[in-house]
């Protein structure tokens, strides 16, 4: 179409282009002016934001040092909580801390118990005189409960150390002495250096008179510093110590201009300093200026050529409107539909080749989406896709994205063994990178193989996806297992688990579960003192089933909580019946599975069942698992509530998890029940006890006695094991040497003959 005006011909496309150019230029001017103002404000505000950030960072470092100091005092408090120093002589206390030196805080070079006369009973069984030490006067003369010394020279090796001391009080409140521990200055310096988030920063700690306690350059330790410059405004280390707060410009020990951010460390006379090079901010400011210039240039270029590109882009979009059906817009990988198409073609082109198919996703990705939002989730998916794309290159594989965080990889391989070798090597790389991400995460993988035989070649790419996804479901509740391979055994196991899950409610309703009782025998009297209730399942469809075949599955799907309360009721009913018949009875312990995580709910439901039966609480002991998912606070809350109702509490499988002296002092359990692996792994092939293992077990029993805990050993199977436990004064034994788990009738007879 042509327009005619004043006898001139005007092309409408040219007119549209001119108007577009004019509008673009106007818009460009607006963008440039606005961006200039915004960028100027950013530059003015950035320094303040940077200073605030560094203030917060230095405060965080100071808190980290404070937490480290508190951890040292907390470790000392654990020894004080044993009350050993209050009830024993100085020499006995020295032997005690020597016997448990293997549970020392890893930073402690040596520990001592110091009496009020200044005699130090060291952990290495030597003595020292500390009456000339400041920390002795602070604790004994001035009445400090805790004290952190300035750096001093160790009596042992003349090495610079910091002394941490905690007072030990008698029952009447008077001073008995104090525990002290020495930490090498080099150890503390290394710990503090590890806090740094940026290699260009420096972190140091100043003590009295401006001497460096911690410094990246160990040559500066215990020295002061004064900048070599004519500017009187530059601060020395002594001045920084007196100031103790705020941020100031000076010259670092490297000789470079820096800004020092100061923080006082509570409970000490130390000052922490964060040294940030001035080049850090100048680089940032330069980037801001470059960004401002870049906005100006891009704005002019973009808006000027916008009109020229307008028609071309519209044409291009029309021409390639199918692009999103081929490539995923977030990751730029193939979409699932396109991946399946290309993968199917590859399978048809290579009928005699072997293939590996990998289906993977991010473990607990829903948690990331719910807690961090859509943008963070998309960033994580993009980051994960880059890692997987590199993995696929090692296979020369096809890769695509399915829904959400799911990805697919198909590769032709020469052998299954080589393919799995490559996968395991790449999995280590994947794990390293995912742990370094801003929000650390782990991936899980399902793997299936297509082999070159006629029967298998009927499988489609959809079949391989289904098999790999099915394999991956088998590790859903196993956080330590990252991949599973589809095979017939896996299929059989999954089918069996599905069958068990489909019949578990019916089995509970039909009383197919029943309770066995394994006696507990006193090692001093050889008489029965209790029993543990153990659940078994006699299924008309699956036969007799041992706990290992159904308990882990029930823990994973949550059914274990119902089974727990079924067992409780069976035990209560049995004990009530024996009391009514006048038969002799002993206390019975019942297991509390790791699935119970809310103290109030558990106690409400447990007492509701218990109060339906006329039995005293002294006959019931609850065994909690050391490997429980509950934290120490929840375990303590449940233990306190059980004690309040009159029940005793045991810690089951003690030693199989990550227990510690600290944990035992916080959770007031009555009984430590040692895992059977202690005895089985300590018994040689000839039936004799391994000497080093036996010595370790003896130390555990002695520590239990110090903490006033009764001790029970599971898995006692031989007379040698029985005699050993008796010799180290273990209280109770449980195992096949005395009796296997018994039915109710056999258990009643056992009590009569062993009571």
Note the Cα 504 to chain centre separation in Å: 33
* Residue 181's pLDDT band (cuts 50, 70, 90): very high
The stretch 109-114 carries a mean pLDDT of 90
State how far the Cα of 408 lies from the Cα of 461, in Å rounded to an integer. 10
pLDDT for 225 beyond 50: yes
pLDDT at 310 over 60: no
Does residue 580 carry a pLDDT above 90? yes
Mean pLDDT in residue range 335-364: 90
Res. 320: pLDDT tops 60: no
pLDDT at position 85 is: 80
> Which one has a higher pLDDT value, 36 or 661?
36
What are 249-270's pLDDT values in tens digits? 888 877 788 888 898 888 788 8
Checking 487-492 for CB contacts under 8 A at 24+ apart, the result is none
pLDDT in the model for residue 629: 45
Q: What's residue 655's pLDDT?
A: 63
Q: Indicate if the pLDDT at residue 319 is higher than 60.
A: no
Give per-residue pLDDT as tens, 410-441: 999 999 999 898 898 889 899 999 988 988 88
pLDDT of residue 3: 31
Q: Distance between CA 469 and CA 461 in Å, rounded? A: 12
Cα(65)–Cα(42) distance, integer angstroms: 34
Q: How many CA atoms lie within 13 A of 645 on its CB side?
A: 21
Residue 595 has what pLDDT? 73
Please report the pLDDT score of residue 747 as a whole number: 96
Taking the CB of residue 711, how many other CB atoms lie within 10 A of it? 22
Average pLDDT of span 374-389: 91
Helices 365-395, 416-435: inter-axial angle, 10-degree rounding = 130
Beta bridge partners of 113: 121, 179
| Cα 61 from chain centre | 21
Report the percent of the chain where pLDDT is more than 90.
30
Answer positive or negative: Cα dihedral of 170, 81, 62, 207.
positive
DSSP 106: T
Range in 85-99, 311-325, 464-478 with the lowest mean pLDDT: 311-325
Instruction: Tell me the C-alpha distance between 662 and 748, whole Å.
Output: 40
CB 148 within 8 A of CB 268: yes
Contact indicator for 233, 302 with CB cutoff of 8 Å: no
Average pLDDT of every residue of the chain: 82
pLDDT at 50 over 80: no
pLDDT at 6: 34
Minimum mean pLDDT range among 49-58, 487-496, 547-556: 487-496
Residue 358, C-beta contacts closer than 8 angstroms, at least 6 positions apart: 408, 409, 410, 423, 445, 446, 447, 468
Give 193-212 pLDDT, tens digit per residue.
777 766 667 788 888 778 88
Question: pLDDT digits over 515-550, tens only?
Answer: 999 999 999 999 999 999 999 999 988 889 888 888
Assigned token pair, 71: 């951890």
pLDDT at residue 290 is higher than 90: no
111 near 179, Cβ under 8 Å? Answer: yes
Q: Is the pLDDT of residue 8 over 50?
A: no
**Residue, of 288 and 164, whose pLDDT is higher:** 164
Determine the length of the chain. Answer: 755
Strand partners, 214: 205
Confidence of residue 451 (pLDDT cuts 50, 70, 90): confident
Q: DSSP letter at 438?
A: S
Neighbours of 197 (CB within 10 A): 9
Report residue 605's pLDDT band, with 50, 70 and 90 as the boundaries: very high
User: What local confidence, expressed as pLDDT, does residue 358 receive?
Assistant: 93
**Structure tokens given for 494:** 């999954």
pTM: 0.45
Q: Following DSSP, what letter does each residue of 114-146 receive, concatenated? A: EETTSEEEETTS-EEE-TTSHHHIIIIIS--SE
Residue 647's pLDDT band (boundaries 50, 70, 90)? Answer: very high
Q: How confident is the model at residue 409 (pLDDT cuts 50, 70, 90)?
A: very high
Amino acid 210: pLDDT: 82
Of the candidates 383, 338, 345, 341, the one whose C-alpha atom is nearest the C-alpha of residue 362 is 383
Average pLDDT over residues 301-330: 61
């Amino acid at each position: 179409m042509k327009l005619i005006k004043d006898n001139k011909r005007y092309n409408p496309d040219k007119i549209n282009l001119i108007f577009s150019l004019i509008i673009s230029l106007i818009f460009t001017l607006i963008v440039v002016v606005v961006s200039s103002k915004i960028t100027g404000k950013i530059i003015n505000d950035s320094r303040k934001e940077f200073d605030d950030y560094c203030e917060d960072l230095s405060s965080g470092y100071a808190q980290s040092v404070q937490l480290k100091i508190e951890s040292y005092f907390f470790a000392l408090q654990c020894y004080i909580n044993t009350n050993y120093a209050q009830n024993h002589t100085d020499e006995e206390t020295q032997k005690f801390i020597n016997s448990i030196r293997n549970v020392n805080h890893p930073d402690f070079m040596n520990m001592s118990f110091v009496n009020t006369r200044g005699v130090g009973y060291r952990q290495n069984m030597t003595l020292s005189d500390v009456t000339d030490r400041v920390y002795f006067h602070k604790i004994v003369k001035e009445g400090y409960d805790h004290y952190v010394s300035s750096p001093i020279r160790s009596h042992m090796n003349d090495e610079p150390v910091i002394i941490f001391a905690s007072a030990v009080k008698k029952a009447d409140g008077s001073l008995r002495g104090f525990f002290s521990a020495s930490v090498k200055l080099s150890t503390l310096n290394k710990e503090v250096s590890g806090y740094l988030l940026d290699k260009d920063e420096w972190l140091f700690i100043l003590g009295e008179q401006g001497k460096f306690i911690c410094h990246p350059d160990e040559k500066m330790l215990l020295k002061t510093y004064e900048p070599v410059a004519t500017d009187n405004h530059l601060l020395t280390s002594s001045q920084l110590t007196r100031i103790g707060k705020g941020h100031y410009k000076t010259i670092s020990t490297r000789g470079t201009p820096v800004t020092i951010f100061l923080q006082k460390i509570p409970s000490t006379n130390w000052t922490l300093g964060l040294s940030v090079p001035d080049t850090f901010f100048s680089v940032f400011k330069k980037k801001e200026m470059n960004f401002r210039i870049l906005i100006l240039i891009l704005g002019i270029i973009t808006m000027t050529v916008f009109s020229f590109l307008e028609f071309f882009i519209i044409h291009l979009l029309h021409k390639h409107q199918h692009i999103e059906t081929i490539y995923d817009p977030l990751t730029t990988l193939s979409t699932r539909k396109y991946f399946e198409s290309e993968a199917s073609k590859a399978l048809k082109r290579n009928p005699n080749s072997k293939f590996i198919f990998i289906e993977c996703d991010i473990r607990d990705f829903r948690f990331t989406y719910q807690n961090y939002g859509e943008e963070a989730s998309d960033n994580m998916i993009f980051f994960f896709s880059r890692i997987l794309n590199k993995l696929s290159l090692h296979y020369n594989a096809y890769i695509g994205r399915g829904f959400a965080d799911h990805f697919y990889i198909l590769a032709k391989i020469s052998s299954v063994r080589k393919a799995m070798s490559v996968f395991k090597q790449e999995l280590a790389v994947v794990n390293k990178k995912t742990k370094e991400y801003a929000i650390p995460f782990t991936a899980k993988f399902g793997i299936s193989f297509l082999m070159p035989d006629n029967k298998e070649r009927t499988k489609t790419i959809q079949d391989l996806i289904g098999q790999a996804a099915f394999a991956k479901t088998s590790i859903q509740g196993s956080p330590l297992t990252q991949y599973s391979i589809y095979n017939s055994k896996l299929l059989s196991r999954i089918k069996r688990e599905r069958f068990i899950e489909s019949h578990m409610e019916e089995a509970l309703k039909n009383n197919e579960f029943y309770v066995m009782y394994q006696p507990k025998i006193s090692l001093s009297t050889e008489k029965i003192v209790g029993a543990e209730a153990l659940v078994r399942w006699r299924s008309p469809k699956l036969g007799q089933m041992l706990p290992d075949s159904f308990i882990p599955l029930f823990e994973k799907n949550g059914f274990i909580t119902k089974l727990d309360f079924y067992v409780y009721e069976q035990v209560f009913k049995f004990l009530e019946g024996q009391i009514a018949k006048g038969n002799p009875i002993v206390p019975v312990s019942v297991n509390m599975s790791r699935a119970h995580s809310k103290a109030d709910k558990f106690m409400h439901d447990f007492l509701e069942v218990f109060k339906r039966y006329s039995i005293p609480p002294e006959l019931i002991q609850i065994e909690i698992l050391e490997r429980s998912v509950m934290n120490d606070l929840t375990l303590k809350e449940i233990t306190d509530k059980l004690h309040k109702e009159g029940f005793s509490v045991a810690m089951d499988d003690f030693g199989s998890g990550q227990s510690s002296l600290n944990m035992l002092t916080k959770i007031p359990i009555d009984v430590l029940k040692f895992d059977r692996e202690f005895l089985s792994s300590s018994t040689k092939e000839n039936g004799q006890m391994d000497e080093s293992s036996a010595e370790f077990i003896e130390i555990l029993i002695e520590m239990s006695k110090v903490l006033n805990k009764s001790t029970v050993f599971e898995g006692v199977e031989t007379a040698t094991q029985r005699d050993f436990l008796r010799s180290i004064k273990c209280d109770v034994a449980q195992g096949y040497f005395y009796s296997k788990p018994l039915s109710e009738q056999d258990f009643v007879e056992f009590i009569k003959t062993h009571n």
